[in-house]
């Protein structure tokens, strides 16, 4: 326990507080996971995790999150989108068609074999202040989701790259023009045979400034 954050008696109390320790362990141990056991996460469990996600803070109670679950055959359609994006990107760099096609097929396989995928959007708002608040709230919901999933033995990873941002994916799930992609989340059971990646962080103190105006 960092004694610059809490005094000694509070730190001792926290050390024996099982709720605090369970939350702290879950936060520390959650990692970005991209390889899973093959089975999908059952819908009732996924829904339960989403019920926890939405307890995130959201200013003005706009509840700006929209969740689209891709399982079953919809992952094949995502694979096709990923292949197209990859082929276009590689062709633009001047490599031969056969290599581009192979890389496209690899991208398709990578995405369509993720057990479960969650496409998450935020509701847009014409007021920039509310728009930013909505983005922040959906990010909070996604962290809730990732932590609850981790505690249930389920790994997640957040993707915001070209595949996640593809208009074709937005259209595939039926998201509206008033929504913006926040993340495409891979979801699947943790594989006990794969060691989780190491967390890479500087200490929080490195980025903390204590401002005392007195």
User: Where do contacts with ligand FMN occur on this chain (CB under 6 A)?
Assistant: 31-32, 158-161, 197, 199
Work out the end-to-end distance of the chain between its first and last CA atoms, rounded to an integer number of angstroms. Answer: 27
When the beta carbons of 90 and 182 are compared against ligand FMN, the nearer one is 182
Query: Nearer to ligand FMN by C-beta: 101 or 110?
Result: 110
Q: Are 90 and 129 in contact (CB under 8 A)?
A: no
Which single residue is written with the structure tokens 């050390």? Answer: 15
Q: In terms of Cα–Cα distance, which of 44, 58, 84 is closest to 172?
A: 84
CB of 100 to ligand FMN, least distance (A): 21
Contact between 158 and 168 (Cβ < 8 Å): no
Least CB distance to ligand FMN at residue 186 (A):
9
Pick between residue 101 and residue 191 the one whose CB is nearest to ligand FMN: 191
Q: Is the CB of residue 138 less than 8 Å from the CB of residue 65?
A: yes
The residue to which tokens 């320790």 are assigned: 21
Q: Which is nearer to ligand FMN, 4 or 160 (by Cβ)?
A: 160
Residue 118: DSSP 8-state: E
Please identify, using beta-carbon distances, which residue of 87 and 181 lies nearer to ligand FMN.
181
Structure tokens at 167: 């208009």
CB of 17 to ligand FMN, least distance (A): 24
Q: How far is the CB of 8 from ligand FMN (least distance, A)?
A: 30
Task: Count the Cβ atoms, other than its own, within 10 Å of residue 109.
Answer: 12
Q: How far is the CB of 158 from ligand FMN (least distance, A)?
A: 4
Bridge partners of 188, per DSSP, are: 155
Q: Which two tokens stand for residue 174?
A: 């039926």
């Amino acid at each position: 326990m960092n004694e610059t954050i809490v005094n000694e008696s509070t730190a001792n109390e926290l050390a024996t507080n099982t709720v605090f320790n369970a939350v702290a362990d879950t936060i520390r141990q959650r990692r970005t996971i991209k390889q899973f056991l093959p089975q999908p996460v059952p819908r009732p469990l996924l829904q339960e995790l989403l019920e926890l996600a939405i307890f995130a803070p959201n200013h003005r109670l706009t509840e700006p999150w929209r969740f689209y679950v891709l399982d079953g055959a919809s992952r094949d359609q995502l694979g096709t989108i990923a292949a197209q994006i990859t082929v276009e990107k590689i062709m633009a760099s001047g490599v031969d068609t056969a290599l581009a096609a192979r890389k496209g097929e690899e991208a398709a396989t990578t995405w369509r074999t993720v057990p479960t995928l969650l496409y998450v959007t935020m509701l847009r708002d014409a007021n920039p202040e509310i728009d930013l608040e909505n983005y922040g709230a959906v990010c909070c919901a996604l962290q809730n989701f990732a932590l609850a999933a981790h505690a249930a033995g389920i790994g997640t990873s957040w993707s915001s790259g070209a595949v996640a941002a593809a208009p074709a994916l937005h259209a595939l799930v039926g998201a509206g023009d008033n929504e913006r992609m926040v993340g495409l989340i891979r979801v699947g059971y943790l594989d006990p045979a794969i060691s989780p990646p190491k967390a890479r962080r500087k200490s929080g103190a490195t980025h903390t400034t204590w401002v005392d105006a007195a």
